[in-house]
Structure formats: C-alpha cells, structure tokens
Amino acid sequence: MTDKPTLDQWAAAAAKEVKGKDLNWDTPEGIQVKPLYTAEDVTVDPGLPGFAPFTRGVRASMYAGRPWTVRQYAGFSTAEESNAFYRRNLAAGQKGLSVAFDLATHRGYDSDHPRVTGDVGKAGVAIDTIEDMKILFDGIPLDKMSVSMTMNGAIIPVLAFFIVAGEEQGVDRKLLDGTVQNDILKEFMVRNTYIYPPEPSMRIISDIFGYTSREMPKFNSISISGYHMQEAGATQVQELAFTIADGIEYARYGMASGLDIDNFAGRLSFFFAIGMNFFMEIAKLRAARVLWHRAMTKLGAQSERSKMLRTHCQTSGVSLTEQDPYNNVMRTTIEAMAAMLGGTQSLHTNALDEAIALPTDFSARIARNTQIVIQEETGMCNVVDPLGGSYYVESLTQQLVDAAQEIIDRVESEGGMAKAVAAGWPKAMIETAAAARQARVDRAEDVIVGVNKYRLANEDLLETLDIDNAKVREAQIARINRVKAERDEEKCQAALQALRDAAAAPQSIETNLLAHAVEAARARATLGEISSAMEDSFQRYGTQPTPVKGVYAAPYAGDSRWQQVLDGVQAVERRLGRKPKLLVAKMGQDGHDRGANIIASAFGDLGFDVVSGPLFQTPEETVVLALDSGVDVVGASSLAAGHKTLIPELINRLREKGRTDIKVIAGGVIPPQDYDYLRDAGVQGIYGPGSNVVECAADVLRLLGHNMPPAGLEEAA
C-alpha cells in the first residue's frame, strides 16, 4: 500500500511538467484561480436544492422534474411579421415568448415622430397602438402563454397595451403570465433607453408593483437585469453586485409605497448574461441566489418564496463575432450549458448572425435547437445540480459571494443604488472594465478565435436579415392615423388628461399610473400620447457621456505600434497647430454606448481631442455639434441598424454646409453587405465588430493625410 501523495508532491510534479510556469490565473474580477482545488477550499456548506439559501437551485427536483423554459428574444419589423415569426418558433418547440421592441417604442415615441425616422422596426417590433399589440399576439392565447417583454422606459404604455390586448382576447388580467423587465436603474447605468429622470422612473416601478400585486397575481412585475451590464463591459462580480443592489433598491421602493414585502417580492425575477467564462458563470448564478436570500432576509421578508431568486438568462451578444461567425454556434452552446449548470429558470440562446444583424429563421432555428438538444439528448437534466460539491465550483461561488458583497456594502453605505447611480461611480467602474477588456483583446491577451488568433484569410459573406425601414414606418403611420380617426376623441383625451393629472399628483392607489394608462389604452391612445402625458409632469431625461481616461493606454506601455500611432497623432498636431479632433456621434434612439465610449477613451489616450456627443442625436444636431466643435472627423457609432438612413443623411447635411472636408467614419454593428452602400454615400472608413482600435486610429491618421505604415512595420517608424 502506497502513501497518499501530498499537495506539495502534486505541486512539484505539476511544476516539473510545465517547467516552472505559474499556473495561477488572475481573472478580470480580481479573483485568483488556482490550478487545483481540494476539500480544504470549500468553507461553506451549499445545502440542498430547493432549500434556503437555494445555492443549489430553487426547486428540489430542478430539471429532473421540469426543464427550463426555452425562450427566444425576438421582434422585428411590424407586429404582423413578428407574430408570424413567433408562431413558427412555437410550433418548432419554443415554450415562451420574449418580445424585443424597436427603439422608437423603447423611447416612448410613435413611429411618426421625426426623431425616429431611422429606428422604426429595425432592432425590434414597432408598437404604437393597442391594435399593434393585439396583432402581435394574434392566435397566441395569453391565458396559456408565458410572455416576457424587455421594456423599461415606455413600460407604462406597453404593459397597458398588453393588459388590454388580453382583455380583448377574452383573458382576465388575473390569468396573464409572464414578466416585464421594468428595470430602470440599469438603464441609467448602461443601456440608456430611459425616458424620465430617476425619481419619477422609480415611482413608475412601484406603481407597477402595486397594480400587479393587486390585479395580476401570476405576473412578474420586474426582471432585474445584469445582462446589459455585462454586455456593456462589467465583470461578473460587478454584474452580480449591481444587479442584487438594484433588486434591494426596488424592494425598498415597493415597501416605501405601502406594499408588504411578501405581497410583491415573490414576483420579482432576475436576468443575467452568460458569457464565455464557463465556471465563473455557473458560480455567478449560484452566488446570486445566496446574496438575494441574504438581502431579502435582512429586509424583513418572511416567506421563503420572497427570498428565492429566480432568473432568466441569455447567452452573450458581446462574445459573438462578425469574423468566422459559425464559431458563434459553439460559443452559444458553451454558454447555454453554463446557464443550465448554474440553474436558470429560462434561457434565450443568441443566433450565430446577431453580431451584425437580426437573426434569420435559419440562425434562430439553430439557436433554439441548441437548448432542445441539451434538454433531450445529453442526459444533463437527469441530475440536480451536477456540479454541486465540486471543490472548484463551491470555492468560486463563495469567492463571488464575498467579492460582490463588498460592492453591495459600499452601495448600502452610500444610501442605496439610486444614489450610487446618481453619483455615477457604478457606470464609471463598468466603463473602466470595458476599456481594459478591449485593450486585452486588441493585444491578443484575451484570445478570440477567428478575430485576434486563427483568423481566416478570407471571410465569406453571411446572409443576414434586412428590414425595409421606410416601408415599416409607412405602414405604422397608416395604422396610427386609422386608429386616431376611428376612436372617440373626447373619451381618449379625457383619459390622457386623467393620466396627466395622476402624474402630477402624489403617489397613491387613486393616482396609480398603470391603472390610468390602461384606461387610456382602452380609449385607443397611442404609445407616444401616453408617454407624452407623463412627460408633461416628469420631463425627458438626458445625460452627457464622460469617457474614462488612461485605462486603455495602460497595457500598451512600451508597445512599439502604440508608440508609432502616438507619434503619428503628434505629427498631425504639429501640422495642424492643434490636436486632431474627433466627434464620437450616437445618432438615433440606440442608447448602447459601450463601443462609442471605448473609442472615445482609446482615441483620447492616443492624443486625439475627442468630443463625446450626447446620446439620441439627429443627423442635423450632429452636424451643428461638429461645426461648433471644429472637428476633423465624425465617427458615427451604430448598433441598431439605422446606419443606412442616418449616416447618409449626416453626410448630405455636411455637404449642404459646404464641409466635405470633415471626414465621416462609421463603426459598430454594420453588416459587410452594407459597406459598399455606405462608401458610395461618402463614408471614408468602416470599422466593424472585432476591429483593433489602435489600427482604427492609424487608419484615421491616414485619412487626415499622415503617412502611417501598416501594422507589423513598426521598425519603419
């Protein structure tokens, strides 16, 4: 019988095999991952599935009893087109609906509003009236289908339309089942599809809590979202901490409005991103359940259901690549497995083409079948929490609990998440992490297969879905006009005035905004009219981007290519007598600003004079800002498919002002098929997903007349 080997013996053997290489790994979260874990690393008993603190799952049987709900987040063009897409997917095995709305709808504008000409129907379905909502769910029984709606800013009219659509389908609102996102704090941090300032936005949330707790017992009144934080660049610790802190804040607001915590907390749900750090994502979901149980116990919840964190998950959009896109099938499969092993209650899997466009039927089928194959073919669902008891997973779970709790404690010490968001430090923390991540990718320290390693010499074009924005907008305007012509105008205006008065009055059951919006929806008020009625009292909110400094540059100390571009910027500065000036412009109603902020931060670190334009600009407003700021280049950041409308209009308006000398470049989610269209319109540089930011800066210097050598020729500097 041989003696049991010691850890020291293992360490010596491992070091010999790797010739002394350090096998420890420091994650972006600041957690050091060891190459070997033992029983000594497990310091907390995770308990059993279905029992507090629910580390191992919210149900005792988990997927052995019933698998997670297969959802697909989808919506595009008109309600008719989206309805047909939903019905095809449901027939093919999808179990729940998850609705994506276009940006005009998110921002509370009807499709006929002049600010949304490039946004209607492009990144989701356009919903202007109750008639749109009824068409969206035509043939889909709302008393039998769970419906999730990703909506925050215009949540009041959208939820009102959903309630009335159910009524007119013959479904009592007490039978409506599903979830609304209704998470406005996250919007102020990262996604930016807000309408009103923070304080009235929080009133809206508590009004929805009150209405749904009384009238819609099966409906989840909020989905507290970390997803968009990770997509904006947050580490998993940041996503975890800020999401739980948001949930604590919402629970407090509900209690402050007079609700008993156990009357609404059981209908709160969560929404997390699942990226490519496989074990970290599994541990994150387990840690989230521990933290929520702890937080709700502290707030005084008595019911175990109130303390039970239930979550929807979605695979990462940021991990998808334009280059070598079929790799995205594998990425999504790995992420789906992580969500499943972490214990999600429902899941959306992204399609392989979503780095550049809305999914086609072909790509959506692959994404949906990824989940069905895991459920039906792998046997993974037959064991409850199969990774429970893993030394690594249990240790990582506890490390995430501890690291996230530190951030939550800071939030609490400063008065809660609403005050932290107002102070701006959570957003700054996330933007710092995003800039650091981009630098690691550009330096190939974080490998992305097909982008910064193993890249194809030639890329085949991928067939993508293209929406005729003008045609959709024309159809929507026709329906708006028809609804307005056929409604009882006096009754509609009276309902809108009652809503306006309620918004101006103190919060109470009698002034509940959702209750008044339901009456306005019944009277055929449009989404824009309902939003505007509240805006009369609440006003419309706007912020100015403030990019971080020095974070992108830090890893490049001593890098020869970085120095070459710095020298190029300085050469242009000497020639112009000032620094080259770049306006980073966000036109249209897309609030996702991760890419724009990274470009602003990186170009600023490289020595450019950078002007970060406000969100939600029109092309005309962008031209005014460009001329007033005296810029050399306008960089238009696009994510929501408005590039074929908004960027050509920007160029034409610059021409009208006689300023063809100002270069226009474009970056973001732009399908390669559209590159020639944009070049013909006058765009002089196009930088899609996966573009190296340092090389983008080098190319801009060439546009400004500097003779920059290509990458790899640093010795020529």
Please indicate, yes or no, if residue 553 is contained in any of the structural domains.
no
| Mean pLDDT score, 644-673 | 93
Q: How far apart are CA 396 and CA 656, in angstroms?
A: 59
In the predicted structure, residue 535 carries a pLDDT above the cut 70: yes
What was the pLDDT predicted at 2?
Answer: 64
Helix %, strand %, coil % of the chain (to 5): 50, 10, 40
Query: Helix crossing, 236-256 with 425-442: angle to 10°?
Result: 160
pLDDT digits (tens, 9 = 90+) for 478-520: 999 999 999 999 999 999 999 999 999 999 999 999 999 999 9
Q: Alpha-carbon distance 202 to 185, whole Å?
A: 8
Q: Is residue 431 part of a domain?
A: no
- Neighbour count for residue 508 (Cβ, 10 Å): 12
* DSSP for 464-531, written as a single string: -----HHHHHHHHHHHHHHHHHHS-HHHHHHHHHHHHHHHHSPPSSTT-HHHHHHHHHHTT--HHHHH
Residue 261 lies in a domain: yes
Q: Which one from 122, 284, 427, 586 is the annotated catalytic residue?
A: 586
**Is the residue at 636 inside a domain?**
yes
* Residue 590: active-site member: yes
Q: How far apart are CA 674 and CA 644, in angstroms?
A: 8
The mean per-residue pLDDT over the stretch 302-318 comes to 95
Is residue 564 scored above 50 in pLDDT? yes
Does 64 or 459 have the greater pLDDT score?
64
Banded model confidence at residue 331, pLDDT cuts 50, 70, 90: very high
Of 284, 307, 592, 643, the catalytic one is 592
**Which one is predicted more confidently, 27 or 283?**
283
pLDDT at 336 over 90: yes
CA nearest 584: which of 571, 562, 603? 603
586 labelled catalytic: yes
Give residue 663's identity as a one-letter amino acid code. Answer: K
Is residue 355 helix, strand or coil? coil
Cα torsion for 178, 56, 314, 351, to the nearest 10°?
A: -120
Give tens-digit pLDDT for 143-190: 888 888 989 999 999 999 999 999 999 999 999 998 899 999 999 998
pLDDT over threshold 60, residue 713: no
The per-residue pLDDT for 123 is 78
The mean pLDDT value for 330-346 works out to 97
**pLDDT over 50 at 609, yes or no:** yes
72 and 221 belong to one structural domain: yes
Q: Give the span between the Cα atoms of 573 and 566, in whole angstroms.
A: 11
21 assigned to some structural domain: no
pLDDT for 79 equals: 87
The whole-number pLDDT of residue 641 equals 63
**pLDDT in the model for residue 640:** 60
Residues 6+ apart with CB under 8 A from 663: 632, 633, 634, 684, 685, 700, 703, 704
Q: Among this protein's residues, is 592 annotated catalytic?
A: yes
Name the catalytic one among 73, 196, 250, 392.
73
Residue-level pLDDT at 689: 83
In angstroms, the CA 576 to CA 715 distance is 26
Average pLDDT score over residue span 220-226: 91
Q: Does residue 89 carry a pLDDT above 80?
A: no
Burial of 144 per CB tally in 10 Å (0-12, 13-18, 19+): exposed
pLDDT tens for each residue of 230-260: 999 999 999 999 999 999 999 998 898 888 9
Examine the domain organization and report whether 241 and 92 are in the same domain: yes
Catalytic residue flag (residue 516): no
The yes-or-no answer on residue 113 being catalytic is no
Q: Is the pLDDT score of 717 beyond 50?
A: no
Residue 246 confidence (pLDDT)? 95
**So what's the pLDDT on residue 545?**
80
CA distance 421 to 424: 5
Asked whether the predicted pLDDT for residue 427 surpasses 50, the reply is yes
CATH code for the domain of 653: 3.40.50.280
With a cut of 70, say whether residue 714 has pLDDT above it: no
- Concerning whether 228 is annotated as a catalytic residue, the answer is yes
Residue 199 lies in a domain: yes
- 202 falls within a domain: yes
Bridge pairing between strands 609-612 and 581-585: parallel
Tokens 């406005």 belong to: 184
Helix (H) or strand (E) holding 99: strand 96-99
Domain that holds residue 210: 56-375+382-423
For range 87-111, the mean pLDDT: 86
**Any idea what the CATH number is for the domain that residue 82 is in?**
3.20.20.240
Judged against a pLDDT cut of 50, whether residue 96 lies above it is answered with yes
What pLDDT does 715 receive?
A: 37
Dihedral, 614, 639, 646, 185 alpha carbons, nearest 10: -40
Judge whether 122 lies within some domain: yes
Q: Which among 119, 132, 207, 590 is annotated as catalytic?
A: 590
The Cα angle at residue 182 between residues 537 and 169, in degrees rounded to 5: 95
Q: Which of 514, 504, 477 is nearest to 157 (CA)?
A: 514
Q: Looking at the 3D structure of the chain, how many domains does it have? A: 2
pLDDT, residue 75, reads 60
pLDDT, greater one: 470 or 314: 314
Q: Which pTM does this prediction carry?
A: 0.89
pLDDT digit string, tens, across residues 1-32: 567 889 889 988 988 898 878 889 889 888 99
Q: What are phi and psi of 613, to 5 degrees?
A: -70, 155
Model confidence at 561: pLDDT above 80: yes
Cis omega (within 30 of 0) for bond into 689: no
